[in-house]
Structure 1
Amino acid sequence: MSNNTNWSIDNAHSEIAFKVKHMMISTVTGHFEDFQATAQTDDDDFNNASFSFSAKTASINTKNKDRDAHLKSDDFFNSEAYPEMSFVSKSFNGSELIGDLTIKDVTKQVTLNADFNGVAVDPYGQTKAGFEISGEINRKDFNLTWSAVTEAGSIVVSDKVKLVVDVQFIKQS
């Protein structure tokens, strides 16, 4: 008999970041400041756990106000029309997390690498679980299609976007 355990994200100890090459010579890192995630497990080893995640696209922060405004515009996320992006897992085998990623009006299955760092009890008696999740998507698959080319012919923003997600979950029940 399985007892479903619910876990919710510990926002203070989690970061949802992405990295994208800029003009092919440097990397811009950004993150979402407003996000939610939950996990459901049958046990504390997270085998076959199910995960769901959402982030407010308008909470994007790349430490540059003009760039952030551009990312929220229709060229990229169109935060007004599509305020949230989401991920719902289909399977997790301990190292691979497969699920549906929805950005704007496009949903696509993605495979992410997931390192489960284990479970620990913090000084306040809360049980926590940590994960490092990474992967790569093509932004054009999700209609984030804006592109520009410099005078020298370099692409300004790479199509490939790396996802770097460090999350800590708190056991709820």
Structure 2
Amino acid sequence: MAQKTKWVIDPTHTEIGFKVKHMMFTNVSGKIDKYTATVETDGDDFANAVISFSGEANSVSTGSAERDKHLLSADFFDVEKFPTLEFRATSFTKVDEDNFELKGDLTMHGVTKQVTLEVESAGLMKDPWGNIKAAFSIKGKINRKDWGLTWNAALETGGVLVSEEVRIVAEVQLIKQ
């Protein structure tokens, strides 16, 4: 049996983000600026990794102070009641040489639901200071209404202001401990 290896996020080379359609035709991007994550693997093999992530809901940022204030309000994240976003992996399965399927429980706005994310591995690399790094691109889609994030506004031309579909996009670099 391989030795257990612990990995932590390299925050200077990681971005946890999302994209949502605005007015049904423009993508608005945002990110979570404050988070922690831990990953535990058998040696350097990420198949069946144990993964946990916790993000501070009040660190959601979209580049617009007015929009961010609205997102943090009771209309969306309601950070006073629900200060954290949590993800706990239930499986991390190798699909092929560079790709994995990540399933887990996402808790947001007081609701926990299972999500499935696609993960592409860029492999392992040693940096100039001798640290072993692993890099992954993560993507997936959720329906925000499944977590009780239901606020919206109708458009005069039909449709809605904010899409129900939220695309999760993350670039993650881990450091072997």
> Which amino acid in structure 2 is aligned with residue 72 of structure 1?
L
In the TM superposition, residue 138 of structure 1 has moved relative to its aligned partner by 0.1
In the TM superposition, residue 54 of structure 1 has moved relative to its aligned partner by 1.1
User: Aligned residue for 1:64?
Assistant: 64
Matched, 1:135 2:140: yes
Report the structure, 1 or 2, having the larger strand content: 2
In the TM superposition, residue 145 of structure 1 has moved relative to its aligned partner by 0.7
In the TM superposition, residue 45 of structure 1 has moved relative to its aligned partner by 2.5
User: Aligned residue for 2:31?
Assistant: 31
SS in 2 for 1:93: strand
User: Aligned residue for 2:152?
Assistant: 147
User: Aligned residue for 1:11?
Assistant: 11
Mark the runs of 5 or more structure 2 residues left unpaired by the alignment. Answer: 95-99
> Which amino acid in structure 1 is aligned with residue 131 of structure 2?
Q
CA distance in 1, matches of 2:173, 2:82: 26
In the TM superposition, residue 93 of structure 1 has moved relative to its aligned partner by 1.1
Matched, 1:92 2:124: no
After superposing on structure 2, the runs of 4+ consecutive aligned residues of structure 1 that deviate more than 4 Å are none
> Which amino acid in structure 1 is aligned with residue 142 of structure 2?
I
SS in 1 for 2:68: helix
- Name the TM-score, length of structure 1 as normaliser: 0.97
SS in 2 for 1:136: strand
User: Aligned residue for 1:82?
Assistant: 82
Deviations 1:116-135 (A, max 9, x none): 11111100110110011100
User: Aligned residue for 1:170?
Assistant: 175
In the TM superposition, residue 27 of structure 1 has moved relative to its aligned partner by 0.5
- Name the TM-score, length of structure 2 as normaliser: 0.95
CA distance in 1, matches of 2:76, 2:112: 15
CA distance in 1, matches of 2:127, 2:80: 39
Mark the runs of 5 or more structure 1 residues left unpaired by the alignment. Answer: none
User: Aligned residue for 2:110?
Assistant: 105
In the TM superposition, residue 150 of structure 1 has moved relative to its aligned partner by 1.6
In the TM superposition, residue 35 of structure 1 has moved relative to its aligned partner by 1.1
> Which amino acid in structure 1 is aligned with residue 156 of structure 2?
E
CA distance in 2, matches of 1:34, 1:171: 20
> Which amino acid in structure 2 is aligned with residue 24 of structure 1?
M
- What is the aligned residue count? 172
Q: 2:126 aligns with which of 121, 124, 149?
A: 121
Paired-residue identity, %: 50
CA distance in 2, matches of 1:106, 1:18: 18
SS in 1 for 2:69: helix
C-alpha contact 1:104 1:142 (8 A) present in aligned 2: yes
In the TM superposition, residue 152 of structure 1 has moved relative to its aligned partner by 1.8
> Which amino acid in structure 1 is aligned with residue 167 of structure 2?
K
